[in-house]
Structure 1
Amino acid sequence: MRVLHQRQNGGSHLVELLDDAGEPIEVISGFLRFLAARDCSPNTLVSYAYDLRHLWRFFGERGLTWDQFAPPHAIPLLEYLRSVPSRRPRHRMVLTVATVTPDGPATKLAATTVNRILAAVSSFYEYVILAGLLDRANPIEKRPDPALQRVSERHQPFMGRASRQRPVRRAVRVKTVQ
């Protein structure tokens, strides 16, 4: 399974997820065309394709199809994503879990990467519901974090409130001597 990214003659980008036979996965191609029509950047399209590749690999391991995926599969998906090795070199400033794969040592996907993949999966299912391809609720629904509403000062800028201050403007009067 691989991601195909080609620049077209008109300057547009074609991004597709190809299955093991080299054929585009049509439902993902439709989703990526939808994102392109919404004027998403080519980098966003490629990122979504790679994120959905993780989902399709999970489906392959579990013997599922995209229309069979349901809320009970969300926790096994999360467990799968947390076990996927990432062989790309990273310079992380946090502790990571290292593992050994047949290709050599690797780290696990970062929590931020897993969250981004889950957001991509949720957006994909929003698309298939909107397109009329699925007639049930989103299996991974995005919900607002209630903690953000209760704790307004959760993330403060480096300078605290100093960066939110308005500049002081002083009026200067010049007296003329006659």
Structure 2
Amino acid sequence: MEIEKTNLKGSFIITPRVFEDERGTFTESFNTKAFAEITGINPVFVQDNQSISKYGVVRGLHGQLGEMAQAKLVRVIKGKVLDVAVDMRRESETFGQHFSIILSAENRKQLFVPRGFLHGFSVLEDDSIFAYKCDNFYDKESEAGIVYNDATLGIDWHLEDDVMIVSEKDAVLPSFKEMYKK
């Protein structure tokens, strides 16, 4: 497994090793021991989630903050997405910055998103299957989010506005400035 740092402290790109022969392929998608040796982080995943979305869907930016914050290991099983992580840790030197990467079934890359981040993705191929592991359980009371088209963050979702499909809930999330005016 190859692990690369992103520009956001504590976030990593993981490229698994793929073994191929006449039968097909075998992939070890994650190894906690190897990840901990390289990063110093030893996540214990407690929940797996998966979504199937059509082209143009934008999901995010979501997360859980406080005690119920979640680290996530995200990947694409089928199709292609632009994955986005936003550092919301006020004490972090990368607070308010984001990182994006194309994740696809073809490139097999994964993104480790640490606790204290918001996360989202845009779907770049029909019927994309997006899967992620969380190190904490879902807790509605700890939900947080910023609207996907926030001007302060300026995220390029790799989609034209007229093809974006955004849930009503995501379309009315607060801006970065509204969330952090407190």
TM-score, normalised to structure 2, is 0.26
Structure with more relative contact order (C-alpha pairs < 8 Å, separation 6 or more): 2
| TM score, norm. by length of structure 1 | 0.27
Larger radius of gyration: 1
Greater fraction helix:
1
